[in-house]
Amino acid sequence: MTEAMIRKKPGMVSVKDMPVLQDGPPPGGFAPVRYARRIPNTGPSATAIFLAAFGAFSWGMYQVGQGNKIRRALKEEKYAARRAILPVLQAEEDERFVKEWKKYLEYEAEVMKDVPGWKVGESVYHSGRWVPPSTGELRLMFGDLVACGRLSVVMKSSVLRSATFLVICLFCWLTNK
Partner 1 sequence: MYIAVPAEILGIILPLLLGVAFLVLAERKVMAFVQRRKGPDVVGSFGLLQPLADGSKLILKEPISPSSANFSLFRMAPVATFMLSLVAWAVVPFDYGMVLSDLNIGLLYLFAISSLGVYGIITAGRSSNSKYAFLGALRSAAQMVSYEVSIGLILITVLICVGPRNSSEIVMAQKQIWSGIPLFPVLVMFFISRLAETNRAPFDLPEAEAESVAGYNVEYSSMGSALFFLGEYANMILMGLCTSLSPGGWPPILDLPIFQKIPGSIRFSIKVILFLFLYIWVRAAFPRYRYDQLMGLGRKVFLPLSLARVVPVSGVLVTFQWLP
CA distance 50 to 96: 66
Q: Which of 7, 8, 71, 83 binds partner 1 (CB under 8 A)?
A: 71
Is the CB of 57 or the CB of 107 nearer to partner 1? 57
CB of 52 to partner 1, least distance (A): 10
> Least distance to partner 1 from the beta carbon of 78, Å?
12
How many residues at the interface with partner 1, by CB under 8 A? 20
d(CA 72, CA 93): 31
Q: Select 60 or 121, whichever has its Cβ closest to partner 1.
A: 60
Closest CA to 121 of 92, 94, 140, 98: 98
3-class DSSP assignment, residue 18: coil
Is residue 173 a contact point for partner 1 (CB under 8 A)? no
9: left (phi over 0), alpha (psi -120 to 50) or beta: beta
- For partner 1, which is the closer residue by CB, 68 or 123? 68
Identity of the amino acid at 111: V
Contacts with partner 1, 31-70, as mask; x by CB under 8 A: ----------------------x--xxxxxxxxxxxxxxx
| Nearest-approach distance from CB 71 to partner 1, in angstroms | 6
Which of 66/123 has CB closer to partner 1?
66
Q: Residues with Cβ < 8 Å from 151, sequence gap 6 or more?
A: 145
Which residues partner with 140 through β-bridges? Answer: 161
Single-letter residue type at 100 = E
Cα–Cα distance between 108 and 140 in angstroms, integer?
20
CB 18 within 8 A of CB 7: yes
Least distance CB 58 / partner 1 (angstroms): 8
Chain contacts with partner 1 (rule: CB under 8 A): 53, 56-72, 155, 157
